[in-house]
Amino acid sequence: MTPKIARFLTEQKPATPCLVVDLDCVRGQYRALHDALPSSRIHYAVKANPAPAILKELHNLGSFFDIASPGEIDICMKAGIPAQKLSFGHTVKTARSIAYAYQKGLTLYAFDCLEELKKLAEHAPGCEVFCRLGVLNTGAQWPLSRKFGTTPESAFTLLQQARDLGLKPAGLSFHVGSQQTSTEAYGDAIAQAAGIYHRLRQQDITLDFINMGGGFPTYYNSPIPSIDQFGKAIATAMTTHFPEGAPRILLEPGRYMVGSAGVVHTEVVLSSKRGGGDNDPRWVYLDIGRFGGLAETEGESIRYTFQTPHDENTANRSPCILAGPTCDSMDVLYEKNPIPLPEELKAGDRINILATGAYVSTYCSTGFNGFPPLDEHYI
């Protein structure tokens, strides 16, 4: 919680539930990543939080942007970002959305199979393409493996086919999984990419870049490496695997850029042991849940930190099952691993959920049970 957000909450007393994002914090994250890998080009992964205020802030700092749909192209262009600063990093695109992007002026596209490459050759002729490798997501708390990426052998073949189809083979990409807590994940993936890079050189193809995707973590409540440690690991791997000079590094951070900048402000709707027995578990229902934007509690993967008005007394805590406000029984945030909360907690109390700037505002349903989408404040 930044002082600016704390002041906003005290002075404005906004209606709950809402998300408050401190743009100074977003700026700080961008600068820290830029300092950690000064020669890299940063493409903010728009899906993490597409709020115009964030896009404009990052655009002013010189950021590029990674988009996944015509909708995200429109949001970026409306925020004043030119098409040359957008990459279409999604490997699964309709022909229509490729044609739309091409017509808007996008020149850089991802793919991971021949069928998609043919679509690109037809609807974005002559454009730059990069091939996504499937890499291990070990160490990631929100893995992105299996659904995307191909093998080194097929990437080697596909990038030559790209050239034969009149496209420009520009790079290789990978994503080591979101909320990646191990710096080694990048080194392993860079080693794989380097192998293909060198083999392609022998086929007269020199790739411009290695796109390392996102994955850089946000602090939730267990320790994570600093961005400088990730930077060092990546720089070391690049020097090791490209002794004769390395291609450019592209990064697509999403969570890292905005996660720590946001706080969800929520109200306790009900706190009860229901059955009344001493051994019955205590249930705490908040006015935000799985369908209000906290989708990453799925499988209890992302474990947020909760600040309550009764935190001075740390002794008086007991484990609570935390649930959202809707009539759906799936709308439970933490049950297998309950959250210790103060005994005094009661309906009407306000709780802050920290580090919720990424992957919350857009995961929110549009009116399930009549609950309106999350209010958002960018300050």
Ligand X SMILES: *Cc1c(COP(=O)(O)O)cnc(C)c1O
Q: Which residues bind ligand X (CB under 6 A)?
A: 45, 47-48, 66, 89, 175, 178, 213-216, 252-256
In angstroms, the Cα distances linking 304 to 134, 192, 354 are 29, 34, 6
Residue at shortest CB range from ligand X = 214
Instruction: Return the CA Rg of the chain.
Output: 22
Rounded to a whole number of angstroms, the distance between the first and last alpha carbons of the chain is 13
CB of 209 within 8 A of CB of 110? no
Which residues are bridge partners to 112 per DSSP?
Answer: none
Nearest Cα to Cα of residue 174 among 135, 137, 122 = 135
- CB nearer ligand X, residue 213 or residue 247: 213
- CB nearer ligand X, residue 130 or residue 371: 130
- CB nearer ligand X, residue 178 or residue 326: 178
Measure the CA–CA gap between 185 and 173, rounded to whole angstroms. Answer: 14
- Shortest CB 33 distance to ligand X, Å: 10
- Shortest CB 109 distance to ligand X, Å: 12
- Shortest CB 210 distance to ligand X, Å: 13
The total of other beta-carbon atoms located within 10 Å of residue 282's CB is 17
- Shortest CB 89 distance to ligand X, Å: 4
For the record, the structure tokens of 327 come out as 């009539």
- Shortest CB 142 distance to ligand X, Å: 7
CB of 252 within 8 A of CB of 177? no
- CB nearer ligand X, residue 107 or residue 178: 178
- CB nearer ligand X, residue 45 or residue 165: 45
